[in-house]
Amino acid sequence: GRSPFAMPPREHAARSHADGIADDVSLVIHAAKAASQPPQPCAGQAQASSTAEISWRQLIVRCASVFFNVMCGLTNGYDICVTSAILPDLVSDLSLCGVDSSDRLSSCSQKQAVMSLAAAGSLTAKVCLAWTADRYGRRAALAIVDGLIIAAVLLQCWATSPAPFLAGRYVLGLGIGFAFVVEPMYVCEIAPPHRRGQLVTLNEVAVCVGCLLGLQVGAHLEAGGAVGAWRGATP
């Protein structure tokens, strides 16, 4: 039989429906209160925001890395174009093609080596020196790059015979080739992810700008006609 205390079915359904409406209203009120309050960052978000803020030292390191990355491209482009412009003066001043170097259009092995040794040194550095950046660190590798380029410039500027000048060309190729490996790598590691492609692309743009500068310097020296002026334009 039916219990005398049992609620009629219609009243039970009405009360359940009212309870559901009350729960929905309370959820809406709670959501409105939560939306009106400012969001509280979690511990991970707070740590990430503090990490995103860089110090002045990190900013200086990034700017210096971008600068040297651009200078690497400028040096490479300048070397390619200015060397071809001053090559006739090199032939006559250093007697690259023998004693009689009056023919500026003649070709010889030493004249060809002036243009090819830098490319050979660049290839050697890219293949054989890249491991030093992993073994001793990126900054140590950049110091090696600077030493190679400075030594190459001194060898070429002070050269009075073909041998030291050609050695300087090869050492310059080592420095430029090694820089092309280390500089973009280091910039990618310290740059923000959304800036990496842009900063690395600057290297390629700098090659074109350096080539234009080299052509302008070569044209200016050829117009001047001063003996030994190529030493000041040597990369």
The 3-class secondary structure across 74-138, one letter per residue, is HHHHHHHHHHHHHHHHHHHHHCCCCCCCCCCCCCCHHHHHHHHHHHHHHHHHHHHCCHHHHHHCH
Token pair, residue 3, equals 């219990």
Token pair, residue 34, equals 């939560």
Q: Which fold has domain 56-227?
A: Growth Hormone; Chain: A; (1.20.1250)
Q: Rounded to whole angstroms, how far apart are CA atoms 34 and 51?
A: 28
Global confidence as pTM: 0.67
Q: Tens digit of pLDDT per residue, the chain (235 long)?
A: 544 545 555 555 555 555 555 555 565 565 555 555 555 555 444 444 444 466 888 788 778 877 877 887 887 788 878 887 788 788 888 877 765 555 555 677 888 888 889 889 999 998 988 889 889 988 899 899 889 989 998 998 888 888 999 999 999 999 988 988 888 888 888 778 888 888 878 888 988 999 899 888 888 877 766 666 777 777 6
Contact between 150 and 202 (Cβ < 8 Å): no
Token pair, residue 141, equals 């590798």
Token pair, residue 140, equals 């140590």
Q: Label residue 78 exposed, middle or buried (CB < 10 Å: 0-12, 13-18, 19+).
A: buried
- The residues spanned by each domain of the chain are 56-227
Token pair, residue 228, equals 């030994």
- pLDDT at position 103, please? 55
Token pair, residue 151, equals 């030594």
For residue 174, give the nearest of 151, 190, 200, 194 by alpha carbon: 151
- pLDDT at position 229, please? 72
Task: Encode burial over 188-213: b for 16+ CB neighbours within 10 A, e otherwise.
Answer: eeebeeeeeeebbebbeebbeebbee
